[in-house]
Chain A
Amino acid sequence: MKIVVCVKQIQNPEIPPVQFRIDEEAKVLIPVSGLSPILSPYDEQAVEAALRIRDKAGKDSDIEITIVTIASKGARAVIKAALALGADNAVLLSEPTFDGSGGYVTARNLAETIRAIGDVDLILTGRQAADWDAGVVGLGIAEILDIPAITFACDVQTTDGVVTVQRVLQDGIETVEADLPALVTISNELGKVRYASMRETMRAAKKPIKEWMPEDIGLDEAQVGSSAMRYKLERLYIPVNDTECEFIVGNTPAEIAATLAQHLREAKLI
């Protein structure tokens, strides 16, 4: 069984807000200097989901896990990170005009990459990339490939050509299954991911990484980057927050609580 996990490299989404900068003129993120890009957290969990499927199938299973990413430049570090977790091999679509081309183009280009890999049974993506927070690409790939998609998974299992997914609802969990090939998007409820072991990290250095250019998979200029985009970024900015906080002080918790309760009463909030 062939599993493809789509991963994106991003800037760590949990940096202190004071470090977060954008160039409003160019409408781009200014990367924090000295900070290496990471695997988007939900994508890391998607890798984990694939590894759990393989663990369950046992050592002698025929499960092959392929990492797929599209980047303008320098995605090797995150590919290595995914391989060090235990994936078998990787495909990097190097597309110089890729940055900022948006979910529509990304989904189309990823779908073509997956077609070129061939005979993929299960595709895993994150529920959303933790940079633009869109949540579009996974469902887009499934629509383009015309396969079923199950979103917001917290558990993924496969048996006899069927994928069974526990998916998160607003007020509960539902179990959904579909025949393979299928696509599943992974949510944070999947839980903790494993650490890369020393052994896998050493092995990762020798795992095959294929680097493709768009023309290698039959994508022409009109299908990549800005020429294929269906959206335009008009503005990118950091919203200002000018709330003045009034600190409530007192000698005892009771005194502080009384003052707060009084304030809330005066403001007709309670």
Chain B
Amino acid sequence: MAEPLLRTRFPRGAVVPIIAAAIWWLASSTDLLSGPMAVSPWQVIQTPFLDASGRELWGALLASILRVFAGGLLGGVAGLILGYVAGMYRAAGLGLAPTIHTVRQVALFAWIPLLTAWFGNGEGTKLVFTALSAFFPLFLATEQGIRQVPRPLAEVAETLALRPTTRILRLYLPAALPNIYVGLQIAALSAWIGTIGAEYAIGNGRGLGSYIASARDQFRMDIVIIGVFALAAGGVLLAAAIRLATSKLSPWNREI
């Protein structure tokens, strides 16, 4: 009986990466992979600890995380508020939503030339770009969530003569929360991609994106690869943090 238990504990998702790493390791140790661009797994693992420019990874990662939080908060709050207004009031919904839905169709990275023209080649553009990438998912999710508030519950608010603030805090926000949570997860990942993308495209300052960009310019494949790993790890951590926070925030959905 113990055996199937053990078997289920082995993370099946790890099989493909382990096989890929093994092939990579074999290829580089048998000189199948060679040339200036070839690096071994061991080299890549050592880079962030032993190499002088490799060690900058940590600072870059921290800078990107701070940026994704600052920009994400900015855009997320804006998306939440505008999404609430658009979902709640017919006039606002009719006036606001078509514009936002149209603007959303513009590929995110097409904004970079405009944004750099408006906000310069520095922190401002990166923040605005991150905010923009968090804004759309949260706007959409909140708008939908508010629209889907069950009519029967809204009628109760009517018969109990609830005050407007109570309606927002006790009815509309909690009812829209499942949608907002999904929007938040999409927004977090979108903001992370936005942050890295903006750093990469603008190329200056501290951050994972510019870190990878400059490593590429110097043909440092070990740094590029560890940078990509850090990027993936950052995304996974961000998603996990959001999931944890959201499950803590809705106790009524927990099991009895």
A-B complex is real: no
B residues within 8 Å of A by Cβ?
A: none
A residues within 8 Å of B by Cβ?
A: none
